[in-house]
Structure formats: C-alpha cells, structure tokens
C-alpha cells in the first residue's frame, strides 16, 4: 500500500473519472492529494465521503507523494513530471509528451504489464484511439502475427475535452433553433457534420493523431514491422470512440476463431449478431471499462484479412481506467 498518492488534473473530465475509479475499485492508500491548475486550486472535492481542498500544481506538492496519476496537457506534463520524479514520486502520465520517450514504458495492462518494471519514474498511458486498437489486435496477434492494419476512427467530441462537448451540444441547439453558434474547440461545426482531421499535419498527409496510432501501436506490441494505415475522424457523438479495423495476419484466422479469441481475452466483450441487429454502439458502451467488438467478418479483398468493429469509452478505458489499472499493477510490484 502506498502511504501517499495524488491525482493531477483532478477537476478535469478524465480526472473526475479517475477519482470515481479509485473509490469504486477500493484502491489502497493512506493519504491522497488532489492537484490542478491555479485556476482550480482552492476548490473543494468530495472523495469517499470526505472533503479535500484542491492544491495548485507546483513542484513542492510532490514532496512525500509516492505515486501520482496525471491527466494534463502535454506542455504541463513536460514541465512537472521530471520535478515530481526528482522528489521520489512515480508518475502515471496520460499526456502524449512522454509516450515515445525510449526510457518511458508505454503500458496497457492487458498487453504488456511487465513493461512497468522498466520505469525510471514515469509510466505513460497511450492515446485513447490507440488503446482500444491494441487491445483488439493483441487478442489476434498472440494467435497469428499481424502484418498490416487499416483502421478508421470515429472519435467522440469528449476526446477534445469539455469544450468539444460544448461545441456539439451548443451547435446542435443552435441549428435546431435556427441560430448561429461560435465554435469554441473545433475549426468547423461538429453538429450534423464530420471533420476528417484530428491533430496537426504530421507526415505525408497524416495527422498527429494518426501517427500516434502508428508509433504507439508498434511500441506497445513490441513490433516495428506492423504496417498501419490510420484515418482519424471527429464525429458528432458525445462519448465513446468507434473504429473499423482490418487486420492482415500471417496465417488465416476464421471468423469463428476470431470470435473465440476475442471472447477469451481480458477486457474484451463480443457483441456480434448482425441478423438480430446486435453490435457495439457508443450509446450502449458509454460508462463501461471494456473494449467492445462486433461485425466480425472475413476481408473480401485479402485471403488472410479480418474486419471488425470496435467501440470503447475514450474517457474510461481510453484514459482513466487504463491509468488506474497501471496504478494497480504498481501496487503488486
């Protein structure tokens, strides 16, 4: 049991869920701190029936803290994580800043739990769209090596934070009421629309979000030979990312075998009955910690290809749940 832990970004969308999970899963500790930006410092948080005052994120707040789960922007993570480690604190970081640093393990507990042992003070949690992809891939990869992946994401507005959700709800109300709406987060209206760009231009026409999926997937699975073609799209859904995934494997995996492999893999739920209109949907998967898979079928264009549909709550397994699972791993070391 850790004597003292902290949640950084405790008042944000992901931080709020981290608090819920720590309480729901009875995470063991003796003392806890809640830390946020100067703007939120001084606010009160109720956790496990007790009120706590939110502290401002400064290097000295980590004195005596052994483990912290952090959900902050990249530049914030860059500035505070090293300072926290100097003070003896282990950081489980949700930002993108440390993920591809060679000395920082990038961990999904269902896939590479032993990687946490390699940490030098910082452990990184993957991008939300990557997390559900690699969980689905790993179930198949252990049976037959995956050579190639084509993935298209349908990403919820909650992935862009509270402002993204406001753009969806505010934009919908404005259109229905015949009024104008000034976008706060997205470059174009998201209500009744799709935006085929998430992140900045990065490499040969791919965005930063898409390249995260390439680099992070290879790092987590420990296989730089996997060829990955991603397309990331923002859609007018409030929560849960969805993905169409096509994998090409070295040896053939039948639909029946794939369904068996998915169902046996920890953290995956199969909902796959097309005739009865049963498949994962954002509306029914929100608030859940699992990765949901359906529409499993053979690829008509490739002999060893398999296509399927994947939905997961991007704020939970895509962020908060994965980080708390890493913290639970750390308790066992």
Catalytic residues: 128, 241
Rounded Cα distance, 35 and 42, in Å: 10
Q: How would DSSP label each residue in 132-143?
A: HHHHHHHHHHTT
Tell me the CB-side half-sphere exposure of residue 248, using CA atoms within 13 A: 13
Residue whose C-alpha is closest to residue 283's, from 239, 228, 232:
239
Rounded Cα distance, 212 and 200, in Å: 11
C-beta neighbour count of 37 within 10 angstroms: 16
- Is residue 66 within 8 A of residue 84, CB to CB? The reply is no
**Torsion sign (Cα): 50, 51, 52, 54:** positive
- Is residue 265 within 8 A of residue 135, CB to CB? The reply is yes
Give the chain's radius of gyration (CA, Å): 20
């Amino acid at each position: 049991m850790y004597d003292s832990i902290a949640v950084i970004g405790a008042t944000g969308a992901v931080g709020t869920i981290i608090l819920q999970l720590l309480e729901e899963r009875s995470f063991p500790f003796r003392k806890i701190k809640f830390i946020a930006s100067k703007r939120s410092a001084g606010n009160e948080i109720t956790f496990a029936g007790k009120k706590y005052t939110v502290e401002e994120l400064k290097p000295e707040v980590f004195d005596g803290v052994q483990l912290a789960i952090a959900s902050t922007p990249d530049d914030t993570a860059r500035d505070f994580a090293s300072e926290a480690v100097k003070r003896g604190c282990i950081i489980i970081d949700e930002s993108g800043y440390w993920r591809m640093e060679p000395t920082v393990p990038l961990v999904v507990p269902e896939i590479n739990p032993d990687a946490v042992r390699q940490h030098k003070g910082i452990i990184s949690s993957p991008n939300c769209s990557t997390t559900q992809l690699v969980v689905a891939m790993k179930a198949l990869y252990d049976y037959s090596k995956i050579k190639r992946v084509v993935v298209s994401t349908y990403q919820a507005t909650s992935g862009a934070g509270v402002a993204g959700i406001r753009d969806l709800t505010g934009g919908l109300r404005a259109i229905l009421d015949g009024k104008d709406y000034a976008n706060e987060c997205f470059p174009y209206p998201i209500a009744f629309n799709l935006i085929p760009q998430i992140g900045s231009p990065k490499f040969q026409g791919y965005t930063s979000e898409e390249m995260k999926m390439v680099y992070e997937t290879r790092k987590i699975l420990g296989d730089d030979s996997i060829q990955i073609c991603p397309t990331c799209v923002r859609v007018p859904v409030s929560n849960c990312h969805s993905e169409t995934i096509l994998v090409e494997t070295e040896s053939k995996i039948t639909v029946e075998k794939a369904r068996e492999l998915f169902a046996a893999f920890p953290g995956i739920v199969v909902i796959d009955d097309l005739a009865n209109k049963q498949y994962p949907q954002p509306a029914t998967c929100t608030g859940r910690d699992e990765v949901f898979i359906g529409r499993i079928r053979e690829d008509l264009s490739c002999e060893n290809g398999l296509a399927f549909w994947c939905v997961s709550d991007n704020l939970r397994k895509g962020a908060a749940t994965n980080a708390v699972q890493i913290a639970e791993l750390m308790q066992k070391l």
